Each structure stands twice: as C-alpha cells, then as structure tokens.
Amino acid sequence: MNRRIATRRSGAKARTSRRRPPARGPSARKTHRRSSEIIDAAAQVFADLGYHGATTQKIADVLRIRQASLYYYFPSKEAALELVCAQGVAGYFETAEAIAGGPGTAAERLAALVRAHISPVVDRGNFVRVFLTQRQFLPKVSRRCVGRWSRGIEQMFEGVVRQGIKTRDFRADIDPRLATLAILGMSNAVMAWYAKENTSIERIGQNFIRLALNGLKAGPVPRRKGSERI
C-alpha cells in the first residue's frame, strides 16, 4: 500500500515536472538585461545604414544575439524605427517646455533653448540623427505622433521669439515663424557635420546664440523721414 502511494506520488511528481515550462537559458536572461543596449544597437544601425539598409538581422548581428530575441522588444523593423525615433525626441519637449516657461528674459531663454537643443548631439547622436533623417519612413500614424512632438518644440521656440518682440527685446520687423525655422534649421544641421569639425558643442552653442541674438536684437528705433527738425 505504502509502495503504491509512493509510486503514485513519484509518478505525479514526474508528470508535474514534465508540464513545467523549460527554464530560461542564460542567453534569454542576458537579452533581458540588455534592453538599453538593444535600442542603442537599433539606433546605430539606422543611423549608419538608413531605414532601407537596416534589418533586424543586422541589429542582432551588432549585439551577437539571435534575430528572434529581438521580437521581445520590437516585432518588426518599422516598430524598431518608431522606438528609436521616440527616444530621439525624448526629453527635448520637456526640457524646452521648462525653459520656455521659466524665468529670464526672452534672450536668456532663447539662448538656453539653443544650448539644450544641440547638446544631445554629443551623447545621443545616433538617436538624434535617426529622428532627423529617418522618421519620414515611419508608418503614417507613427509619423504623425512623432511629428506632434517636433511641432511642439517649434511652437516653444516661436513663443519665446514672439515674447521678445512684444517686450521689445527683439526686432519688430522680424517674422517670428521664419526666425524660429532659421534657428532650428541651423541647430538641427549640427548633426550632419559635428563629427567632422574639431570643435566643442559648447563653442558651437556660443556662436549660434551670438548669431541668433545679434540678428534678433532690437536696435535704436529709426526716426521717420521728415520728423527731424530743420
């Protein structure tokens, strides 16, 4: 009787152990620990090869893992691009919002906006490059979503320029929209040539701020013709 019970118990135990899912191997645990590395690798591949040249296999090759392991993070190349673009703009909006609504004159806030806009080129260059050059290949819905963040940043820059015009710190004859596009265009272009120039991001920021503020700075109001006394 006891031997029968023991046999049944041992059999049940064996059946239970067979029903358990297989233990996750070291490669799977390693993959989960490397989530940031996986997204960094995707950014690198998209930055180096562009959307059309990139594949999930090439991302896996950079990481030396199986292609199937990437599906835990993104199911397709399009999803990987969306994730990289989202990270490329992450932090920009919140930082710009804090600066635009913070203390200081319009000139001080605009200078801070320019510094904050170009500084990620140093430590997040691949993400910035992909956001600027590859987001056009996102699916329509994703492209619109990412585009809203970009337009929001534009609006904050433009809002500070308009405030400067209103307070007469900036010239009244400047179109605030065009001025904003010029400043952002100049700042976004840094990504294309920064690595080729032997200069610091701080020096670039100082020169860009000087260019922007000197162009916007309000000077003495000219007298109207015929207003001078004879």
Please report how many Cα atoms fall inside a 13 Å half-sphere around the Cα of residue 201, on the Cβ side.
19
**Which pLDDT score is estimated for 146?**
82
**Which pLDDT score is estimated for 219?**
66
Instruction: Delimit the domains of the chain by residue range.
Output: 88-216
pLDDT per residue as tens digits for the range 173-193: 999 999 999 999 999 999 999
Lowest mean pLDDT among 27-36, 58-67, 84-93, 191-200: 27-36
Q: How high does pLDDT run on average in the chain?
A: 83
Percentages of the chain per state (helix, strand, coil), in multiples of 5:
75, 0, 25
Could you tell me if 94 and 65 are in contact, meaning their C-beta atoms sit under 8 angstroms apart?
A: no
| Rounded Cα distance, 103 and 143, in Å | 33
pTM to 2 decimals? 0.74
DSSP string, 131-199: HHHHGGGS-HHHHHHHHHHHHHHHHHHHHHHHHHHHTTSB-TTS-HHHHHHHHHHHHHTHHHHGGGSSS
pLDDT at 52 over 90: yes
> How far is C-alpha 108 from the geometric centre of its chain's CA atoms?
24
Place 223 in a pLDDT band, splitting at 50, 70 and 90: low
Q: Which CATH superfamily is domain 88-216 in?
A: Tetracycline Repressor, domain 2 (1.10.357.10)
pLDDT per residue as tens digits for the range 72-129: 888 889 999 998 998 888 778 889 999 999 999 999 999 999 999 999 999 899 999 9
**Which pLDDT score is estimated for 161?**
97
